[in-house]
Structure formats: structure tokens, C-alpha cells
Amino acid sequence: MSDSVIANFDVNGRSREVLVKPYHTLLEILREDLGLTGTKHGCELGECGACTVLVDGLPQLSCLLLPHQVEGKEITTIEGLAEGDELHPLQEAFVEAGAVQCGYCTPSMLLTAKALLEGDPSPSRQEIAEALSGNLCRCTGYEAITRAVELAATRMDT
Ligand code: FES
Ligand code: FES
């Protein structure tokens, strides 16, 4: 492990110190070192969005980030979205709107939508579509996902 380095960052509110290969991506570290497999492994080329996590509150592609780029940062993965047994309003809305089919894109959609609604509590359809445009879904046609984000926005805004 002589080529390993210690990385420090916060994941879902918990401070983590991990011995990692400096050339491993944040996606690999989350899934393989920390066992957080909710972050999905897709293209590894920055094209599908499946690996999206929040870094200091903003959506980032974890397949393109190396440990030194997230040193000291706050990372949120899908495992950090619910509060205990209580689903986040976006998670409830996705279930209700039928926005989850195979579920492969769902963690990335939810986290991207969370960041969107934190910046703009009542986005237009167009703004939702633009925010989610980097996240590919092979199943839903996006309509149900867009409706779910609108539904969650309505509830979170009240
Ligand atoms: S796995 Fe990261 S963008 Fe596809
Ligand atoms: S629900 Fe299957 S890829 Fe989106």
C-alpha cells in the first residue's frame, strides 16, 4: 500500500479518513472502500450522470473526481438523503409519480433534483429538464421524473 494516500472528507455528515490509491476515483472510493453502493457505476467517462453525488451541495460526477479534489469537502450520496426511516420528499414523490423503473439513474436524479430545489424552490418544467439533462435514463422517458420533481417542489415550498 506504499502508493496509497490518506484522504479526508465528510460523507453524509460523517467525517471519514480513508487510505486510498491516489488514482482511484471518488466513485470507486465510495463504492469499494466505503461500501456506499447507491452511487451507480455507469460509463466512467462523464457522460451518463449515473455516478452523480453532491460535493459541497453541488452535483458532481464522482467518476471524474480524484481524492485530492474532494479533500476536506462535504459529500452527499443517496444514502444520506433520507432522515432515518423518513424518506426525503423527493424520494416520496418519485415513488408516487412512478419515476423509478430499473432505478439505475434514480440516485443521481434525486441528488441533482435536491440541489436544484435548494437553489430554486419552484423551478419551471424547462429548468427541471435542463438541471436533469446530464443524467441519462433508459427507462422512463423523463416525463414521470419531471412530474416527481414538480410534486416535491410543491410540497417542499409549503
Ligand atoms: S459513470 Fe460517471 S458520468 Fe457515467
Ligand atoms: S429508471 Fe432505469 S435508467 Fe432511469
Q: What is the DSSP string of 7-34?
A: EEEEETTEEEEEEE-TTS-HHHIIIIIS
Return the residue whose CA atom lies nearest to atom 4 of ligand 2: 137
Contacts of 71 (CB under 8 A, 6+ apart): 7, 8, 9
Domain with CATH 1.10.150.120 in the chain: 89-156
Q: Does domain 89-156 have CATH number 3.40.1350.10?
A: no
Identify the pLDDT of residue 1: 54
Instruction: Calculate how far, in angstroms, residue 110's C-alpha sits from the geometric centre of ligand 2.
Output: 12
Give me the CATH code for the 5-80 domain, please: 3.10.20.30
| Cα 67 from Cα 27, distance rounded (Å) | 10
Rama region for 54: left / alpha / beta (φ>0; ψ in -120 to 50; rest): beta
What are 61-77's pLDDT values in tens digits? 999 999 999 999 999 99
Query: Taking 80 as the threshold, does the pLDDT of residue 158 lie above it?
Result: no
pLDDT (tens digit per residue) in 88-127 = 999 999 999 999 999 999 999 999 999 999 999 999 999 9
- Contact residues of ligand 1, CB 6 A cut-off: 41-44, 46-51, 61, 63
In the DSSP assignment, the letter for residue 139 is S
